[in-house]
Amino acid sequence: MLIAVICTDKPGYIETRMANREAHLAYVKETGVVAQAGPFLDDKGGMCGSLVILDVDDLEAAQKWANGDPYAKAGLFADVRLEVWKKVVG
């Protein structure tokens, strides 16, 4: 099952993002369930959120992954949405 994890950073939290970036990237690699991922960018090209596509068994596994993300643990996100996603192109 593909799940989109859609995250919006809290305004002014770029330092939190940068301080936890290496841990976040290590978590992505270690967990082995990330199919695609990358940051959202604001109008100046700065990172302001994240889109992560997980390939997991169910929504519960996706929620567990999202809760364990070092970005989430550091309080980076203003909101996080999980949506079941169907890949059609690509």
Angle between helices 14-31 and 59-68 (to 10 degrees): 130
Residue 73's pLDDT is what?
98
The b/e string for 45-56 (b: 16+ C-beta within 10 A; e otherwise) is: eebbbbebbbeb
Residue 54's pLDDT is what?
98
- Mean model confidence pLDDT for the chain: 97
Which ranges of the chain does DSSP label H, i.e. alpha helix? 14-31, 59-68, 70-73
Residues 33-58 pLDDT 10s: 999 999 999 999 999 999 999 999 99
Rounded to two decimals, the pTM is 0.94
The CATH code of the domain at 2-85 is: 3.30.70.1060
For residue 80, pLDDT over 90 is answered with: yes
Q: How confident is the model at residue 90 (pLDDT cuts 50, 70, 90)?
A: confident
What one-character DSSP code corresponds to residue 57?
S
What is the residue extent of each domain of the chain? 2-85
Q: In angstroms, rounded to a whole number, what is the distance separating the alpha carbons of residues 60 and 15?
A: 30
Half-sphere exposure in the Cβ direction for 34 (13 Å, CA): 18
From edge to edge, which strands make up the β-sheet containing 77-85? 34-41, 47-55, 2-9, 77-85
Residue 52's pLDDT is what?
98
